[in-house]
Structure 1
Amino acid sequence: MGVRKLSLCLVLMLGAGFPAAARQVEIVKKGNTEIETIVDGSGPAIVILPSTGRDGYEDYDAAAEHLAKAGFKVLRPQPRGVGQSKGPMEGVSLYDFARDTANVIDALGDGRAVVVGHAYGHFIARMVATQYPERVRGVTIAAGAASDTAERNPLVWWAPDYASTPSLSDDMRLAALKGAFFAKGHDATLWLQGWYPQVIKMQSENPVPRTIWWAAGSAPILEVIPEEDPFKPRDRWGELRQQFGDRVTTITIANASHALFPEQPAAVADAIATWANGLPK
């Protein structure tokens, strides 16, 4: 495996009261894949995996900065087809995306990490814990859907398709974004951009049965539930704890919906940091 350093000091001011921190961009090479990974901070590794068909850039900058300030090394591998990430994009599945993530953990995280999956990203996070348990300290499921959302509320389930289709009018796309992704009063126009149709196709064309990855192996789980997320209605908030018992910790985030990270980055980062600090090394 090779790691190529692209930038040593993209220095970023973290806002009022925050020190400056060096942000690096690394390329993790393994076989026929190259995975661009943004690195913030130093310390125990936390991997953040983005939502369906989107990148791991601006949506996660603020949360990554907070986590870096809290003493973590934050790794943001970009999906194949985003930025400088390269690799086969046909005939691939969660098994391949989990392997990409494990390679990043090996190369940049000293072989062990907390893996945070946002929305679709939690599919990959759970698969990493299933396939590579020795590399995973714990899994954070951030804005994960309930197990029956597709059947119970198909309009919500298919909202990403409407939101990500550029041939639709902005009004139609904004209706999907406001209804399914952003809490009232938040700027849903942020997500009119930043979709990657080829990545959506790659992520959806070869589904792996949920029974294989849903349990996230035997890893500790933190579930972060946005209180206004229609993908996880209130009567399903206890679902994972009912299924997996005491290895699940559940917290809710007020004034946030499915987008979550650009809505409440500090609250999400604080929840992850507090929980991660309590995990075995």
Structure 2
Amino acid sequence: MAQSLERLTRRTGTMSSIRSIVRTMKTMSAINAAPYEQAARAIDAWRDTVLDGLHAFVHRNGPLVQGQAGNLQPVIIVIGSDHGLCGNYNEILAAEVAGIADTKAYVLCVGAQMQDALGGEGITPAHTLLPPANTDGLNRLAGELVTHLETARQDAAPGDIAVTLVYTRRTDHGRQAPVLQPLLPLEPALLEDLAVRPWASRSLPQFTLPAPELLAVLVRNLLFATIYRAAAEALVTENAARLARMQQAEQSVDEKLEELRGETRTVRQSEITTELLDVIVGFEALRKRRKPAA
């Protein structure tokens, strides 16, 4: 159905406004990702420091030996998105959680939309936390999650907990993929590396805290750093996903704008042709009227 020039002009203006919004969202996604990427690099340095502390503890007190895995309470931490415009981000994570969760799983959820996605899989989180709004919120989130883990561990007595962290990180070619990262018990490979790694310093490590208390502090800080790193990486990935969606949207809007502009040119040319024909017909009619009779 042919459209009027006025209607096409109005639609073109609307699409141009949408393109401006999409371009703004695209720019914001690129800008927002940078601080989280810097935070991830910073916490990597802190985590290395904590691991150095664990290495010193092991050198002084001997290798860490974990008890036999008995009746462990499964705990799952899933870090989702609450900002939208990043595709099926939460649904993919919810499917991963559904694949490892059983009826006894204690689920800690980050994000109200992530909670809805888990509900779609029949999973009800024990607690839902707000995602960070900026890099300062990473400290708050990691601290709250570690506190919840301590509470879950106390409630699991005389047993213990097995913690899995579920989040999304970047992969090759700008893609993203869900990650299932074990947190507790500590990975045997990590403990083995701490046990066999030689002590490089000439000075022997000295501690003032009792060994059990010091070990608890070191493990707590290791959990904090690992959760902080995962949350930062998840937010970088979320913004990258949103950026990719905005690029696709921008391309679609550009194609639609080009289509509307082409249709506008056609309609405008048609109206000009019609007006010219009206002028010519009017001129011919006027000339015939003025032509003297033979």
TM-score normalised by length of structure 2: 0.25
Higher relative contact order (CA 8 A, sep 6+): 2
Structure of higher CA gyration radius: 2
Bigger share in strand: 1
What's the TM-score, normalizing by structure 1? Answer: 0.26
